[in-house]
Structure 1
Amino acid sequence: MRRFFFDLLVDNVVKIDPGGMVFEQPKATFVVADEMARHLFVWRDDLRDRDAWIRVRDAGGREIYRAAVWAESAEKAGWDQA
């Protein structure tokens, strides 16, 4: 089992996840990050019109995924499609 961290990026500010969560498979973190981003979109209206992301890092600090905090219908390219 490996530890992964879920940071919140808003514009140029980063809120570091100090504890992280343990997962067997790295791809499981993608689902969790997407769910966190959807939750923030619904409950944090201050993040809706900003560049806000959930960034997933492995224990070595390497970014493995980003989930954007915006509506699925919004016309924005994902971080890996820019």
Structure 2
Amino acid sequence: MDPLLLGALATVAAACARICFQWVTGRTAVRLAQLDQQGLSDRVQVLPPGSRMTERCSGREIVVEVGMSKAEETRHG
């Protein structure tokens, strides 16, 4: 086989491998972010009205305050 053709095929194969690696890495990051968001949503949904939750993760801080419904606000003043 011609060395030039072999080098071109190796370059194309390496480029395809790199693109696939970047795609898989990107999809993994997106999926982890989705799971993190879903977990936060699930935890917030079970909190009673008036609760406050602070979550620290990966150098960021999220503070969630669960408000009261309009009916509960009028009852509690």
TM-score over 0.5 for the alignment? no
With a CA cutoff of 8 Å and minimum separation of 6, indicate the structure with the bigger relative contact order. 1
Asked which structure has the greater CA Rg, the reply is 2
Q: Normalised by the size of structure 1, how large is the TM-score? A: 0.30
Structure having the higher helix fraction is: 2
Q: Normalised by the size of structure 2, how large is the TM-score? A: 0.31
Structure having the higher strand fraction is: 1
